[in-house]
Amino acid sequence: MRLNRRVLLAVVGTSAVAGCLEDDGEDADDDPDTEPDDDPESPPFELRTVDAPGSEAGTTTVPGEGQVTFLNPTRTMCPTSEGLIETIGDARADLESRYDVGPDGDVRFVSMVDPRSGPDPTEEELADWWAEHGGEWTVGIDEDGTINDYYEVRGFPTVIALDADGEVHWEDTGGTGASNMIRGIERALEAEPEAPDPEDADDANESDG
């Protein structure tokens, strides 16, 4: 079940760790000139990635095929976003002792910026910012905001645990602890169907024969 984002933001807005919430002055849902999208894009989405520590230039998909993706919509020049990178790194380090974590693992971490919101860094500026604040996993640019729009991201930093189908199993806006992130990721892992055992398939074929 998706969290009620309006309630979430209302709660976060009263917190000392509220982060960098949107301040565009208008809610798109309240804009009379905004037409509903009759055919919205759906996962997986393509994300442009940059050459930075733990990240390669090119593209990746969100979510990854057969993976749990820990997605971090973030914002440069946002102190809460910058501070959360270290916390995400702590969660990642803990999980590495128990799971296959990485671009091709069972769990992968992806951070991204949305040029429509806040600063619009070049790839080089984003890479420098990433290195300065200790990021060590995939980082990219949600060029047209498609991913943020789909997941209704309205504040930064946000962290979201997605299963392979792009379903949200946990999310938080404004900042949280590594233990909460780990629980959210494990919730998504528990929801992932186990791959069929080839021996079970062979046994079934023999029975049919």
Residues 56 and 104: their CA atoms lie apart, in Å, by 13
Q: Give the domain ranges of the chain.
A: 1-21+75-192
Look at residue 153 and tell me whether its pLDDT is greater than 60. Answer: yes
Rounded to an integer, the average pLDDT of 24-32 is 39
Instruction: Select from 133, 130, 132 the least CA-distant residue to 121.
Output: 130
pLDDT at 192: 65
Give the helix/strand (H/E) hosting 147. Answer: helix 146-150
Look at residue 32 and tell me whether its pLDDT is greater than 50. Answer: no
DSSP per residue, 176-189: --HHHHHHHHHHHH
pLDDT at 206: 53
Residues 81 and 8: their CA atoms lie apart, in Å, by 17
pLDDT at 20: 82
pLDDT at 203: 55
Domain 1-21+75-192 architecture: 3-Layer(aba) Sandwich (3.40)
Comparison of pLDDT for 23 and 6, the residue scoring more: 23
The answer to whether 179 touches 153, Cβ cutoff 8 Å, is no
What is the average pLDDT score of the chain? 83
Instruction: Tell me what percent of the residues of the chain surpass a pLDDT of 70.
Output: 73
Using CA atoms, how far residue 20 sits from 80, 157, 180, in Å, is 7, 7, 20
Q: Tell me: the pLDDT tens digits for 112-130?
A: 999 998 899 999 999 999 9
